[in-house]
Amino acid sequence: MKPPKPTRADLLRRHREIFEYARAHGLTLIEAKDAMARDSWKAAQARLAAVRRCGRALPQTTPAPAADPAPRDVSPDAPWMMRD
């Protein structure tokens, strides 16, 4: 399912945020948009690192595969063995 199409107000609000960021940092609109995306990514990574530090995240290592049980010695005349 596709996300809903942003309204004109949402588009103008986003443009204003980018414009104000560009003016505050002396960037072009394209550079400001990229910088805002980088800042957002860094903030998300910092939040993820904080969650990992407090121990709520899943462990990073994958569990080792279970070892096969050791083979048992079976007599050749066991009742469940196939016979000629």
- Cβ(29)–Cβ(22) below 8 Å: yes
Burial 46-79 (b: 16+ CB within 10 A, else e): eeeeeeeeeeeeeeeeeeeeeeeeeeeeeeeeee
Q: Is the pLDDT reported for residue 10 higher than 90?
A: yes
Q: In 3D, which of 51, 69, 68, 73 has the Cα closest to residue 60?
A: 51
pLDDT (tens digit per residue) in 17-74: 999 999 999 999 999 999 999 999 999 999 888 877 776 555 566 666 777 777 777 7
Distance CA 36, CA 81 (A): 70
Distance CA 1, CA 4 (A): 9
pLDDT (tens digit per residue) in 11-31: 999 999 999 999 999 999 999
